[in-house]
Amino acid sequence: MSASQSMAALTWSRFCRSRLATAALVYVVVVALVAAIAPLIANERGVVPFDPNATDLAHRLEPPDSQHHLGTDDLGRDLLSRMIHGARVSLAIGLTATLISLIVGSFLGALAGYYGGIVDWLVSRLIEIVLCFPFLFLVLGIVALFRPSLWTIMIALGLTSWTTEARFIRGEFLRIREMEFAQAARASGARDARIIFRHLLPNAVAPVLVSASFGVANAILTESALSFLGLGVAVPTASWGSILSIAEQYIDFAWWLVLFPGLAIFTTVAAFNVIGDRFRDALDPRSE
Amino acid sequence: MHAYIVRRLLYAVITFFGITVVTFALIHAVPGDPITFYIGTHGQNVSRPALEAIRHEYHLDDPLPKQYLYWLSGAVRLDFGRSTIDRRPVVERIGEKLPNTFELNFIAFLIAALIGLPAGLWSATRSGRPLERSSAVFFFLLYSLPAFWVALLLMQYFAVRHDLLPLFGMASDQAGAMSMPQRLLDHVRHLILPVVTLTYAQIAIFARFSKSALTEVIRQDFITTARAKGAGESAVLWRHAFRNALIPLVTLLGLVIPSLISGSVIVETIFQWDGIGRLYFDSILARDYPTVLGLTVATALVTLFASLLADILYAVADPRIRLGEGGR
């Protein structure tokens, strides 16, 4: 390995050495692409020729066949089409919620790590307080009391899961704030905000991306649980969890309603977890 | 030692106040008349003067900080008011459901520890070998399984298709007519599916945590020293590494308990287990604010005590912590 190889390239090549992680990454990209173009492929004239919300009572609760590849639900809606559209909801919520927690966590963690003292003490107490609440209690409470909607869910998830990111950033800042490049920036008269955002944050961001990957997995899992419990996005919109909540009533025979949406959640969550895990190893110089 | 524990206790008190402030602020940020908070949605049929009287009685005409103090003075005495559903004290309602949740969570915790800890320690000693790698992947997959999906699959397979176990509930309808051992067996049969659903993710947490704890220890200098002085590999592991790896595991208390309580909401709702998770979910749907508030504070307190206990145990076991060296 040449010494000139950048940290990013080195990490990337270590990441790709794991076939499982590479497969997970490809899978996530494919799911994201399908979600992005869902309205183009799953409509009356698309590759999957059914509107996700078009009911067809003559064909309700049908098992998979050549027409409805994954079967139909209790209103005769095509399951495959609903799952493709559901991917949009799940991924959008997972990514946005993680972005919110990344912004909140990085900001508070950076303040705590950079200034130390009373700021650090306050942020640490706040983290401790948030961690005391059982995660799902807090999210359920916020979502239900403020009326379930796409934004309530994303904000509730984001505002309850920033603690990991904050602790990572704080730790990194403590480690690098006295390094030469930071002192050089300070000596050249840069203001605090500039040092924090231009010099320190880019150097502290890598381990946070690991927790972000786990964060997306957790957000998707929690969103689907909320939808399953009936506190997710409003009813006609398909989400993997809301399809499963319908499945619960027909558990005695409609195996396809239980199996496929669950598999979609499971594989996507697992892929994000595997990516995060491999990424963490790739960043750790001691691991190989 | 004493200084450390005193400081930790002080922090716990501060955290307790933080918990109450956050919960109170959240509830009061909810749009709508706070009067429904105390009397529920029946409030709509109450006459205006009567409403004013209630408002005054519950100090709702006072400024918010003062209202908080009134509520807090009750909360420290575990008086969270009365449920808006049946007008019974919230503490009483929590108290009667708590044993059911405790039973479920305690069994799940025990099983998860008994399987997860040895599995994690084992994989740390086999790090990088094919079998260890595939077991690591397996735990990851386990951790990624949505609990409600697992619950549905288990119900479909064991209850609907093969009729081996009951679908939900805590006891059969005929339980009253059963003899004592029969009733016990019936209860155990009802326990199996909820416990499995609650346990599998915790196994993964235990395994991963104990693996990284032991791996961390093996990397340290004193292990190299032990090897250098000629100790056999098994002596190094058993005498030197394991004992030190078990210490950080007490911090799992503060980690696993909130995660178990979170899981209880899903598991108890699906399996209709009459515990606090289901009570919380029902109270949220009914907008029974005093119960929601009481349960949130109570469960956060349980976590607070667990992590306090873990920290103190940690300090007792590891002198580096109480002497402040590792006290980052």
- What digits encode the pLDDT tens for the residues A158-169? 999 999 899 989
Which among B149, B265, B300 has the least Cβ separation from residue A265?
Answer: B149
Which among A130, A142, A262 has the least Cβ separation from residue B149?
Answer: A262
Does A146 contact B at CB distance below 8 Å?
A: yes
Does A161 contact B at CB distance below 8 Å?
A: no
Domain ranges across chain A: 18-39+75-287
Question: How far is the alpha carbon of B56 from chain A, nearest alpha carbon, in Å?
Answer: 24
pLDDT per position in chain B (328 positions), as tens?
678 888 889 999 999 999 999 888 888 887 766 566 666 555 556 677 777 777 776 677 778 888 888 888 888 888 888 887 788 888 999 999 999 999 999 999 999 999 998 898 888 888 778 888 888 888 888 889 999 999 999 999 998 888 888 888 888 888 778 888 888 899 999 999 999 999 998 998 899 888 888 888 888 888 888 888 887 777 787 777 877 887 888 888 778 888 889 899 999 999 999 999 999 999 988 888 888 889 999 999 989 998 888 888 888 877 776 666 444 4
- Please, what sign has the CA dihedral across residues B28, B29, B34, B36? negative
3-state secondary structure of A188: coil
Does B135 contact A at CB distance below 8 Å?
A: no
Amino acid at B176: G
Q: Token match 């504070």: residue?
A: B297
A193 sits in which H/E element? helix A192-194
Reported as a single tens digit per residue, the pLDDT across A86-95 is: 999 999 999 9
**How far is residue B322's CA from residue A274's CA, in Å, rounded to a whole number?**
36
Predicted pLDDT at B327:
42
Phi and psi of B25, rounded to 5°? -65, -40
Contact B304, B16 (CB under 8 A): yes
Our separate counts of H helices and E strands in chain A read 13, 0
Interface of A with B in 53-92 (CB under 8 A): none
**How far is residue B207's CA from residue B143's CA, in Å, rounded to a whole number?**
11
Phi and psi of A141, rounded to 5°? -60, -50
Domains of chain B in start order, with CATH, are 1-85+286-328 (no CATH), 97-284 (1.10.3720.10)
Interface touch A229/B281, C-beta < 8 Å = yes
- Give the torsion through C-alpha atoms of A24, A26, A28, A29, to 10 deg: 170
What are the distances in angstroms from CA A153 to CA A57, A140, A142, A144, B316?
32, 9, 8, 9, 42
Interface touch A137/B299, C-beta < 8 Å = yes
Predicted pLDDT at B223:
82
In this prediction the ipTM stands at 0.88
Interface touch B285/A144, C-beta < 8 Å = yes
Does B215 contact A at CB distance below 8 Å?
A: no
Predicted pLDDT at B111:
95
Q: Which residue of B has its CA nearest to A21?
A: B137
DSSP 8-state class, residue B272: T
Interface touch A132/B287, C-beta < 8 Å = no
Confidence of residue A49 (pLDDT cuts 50, 70, 90): confident
B181 sits in which H/E element? helix B180-218
CATH of domain A18-39+75-287: 1.10.3720.10
Interface of A with B in 219-248 (CB under 8 A): 221, 224-225, 228-229, 231, 241, 244, 247-248
Q: Which residue of A has its CA nearest to B28?
A: A145
Cβ-Cβ contacts under 8 Å for B154 (sequence gap 6 or more): B193, B196, B197
Interface touch B296/A137, C-beta < 8 Å = yes
Q: Which residue of A has its CA nearest to B17?
A: A129
Q: Token match 């010099």: residue?
A: A199
What are the distances in angstroms from CA A17 to CA A9, A214, B187?
12, 20, 50
Predicted pLDDT at B252:
83
The token pair at B225 is: 């020293």
The token pair at A221 is: 């899992």
A168, A174, A169, A166: which is closest to A127 by C-alpha? A166
Does A252 contact B at CB distance below 8 Å?
A: yes
Does A126 contact B at CB distance below 8 Å?
A: yes
pTM over 0.90: no
DSSP for B41-97?
GGGGGS-HHHHHHHHHHTTTTS-HHHHHHHHHHHHTTT---B-TTT--BHHHHHHHH
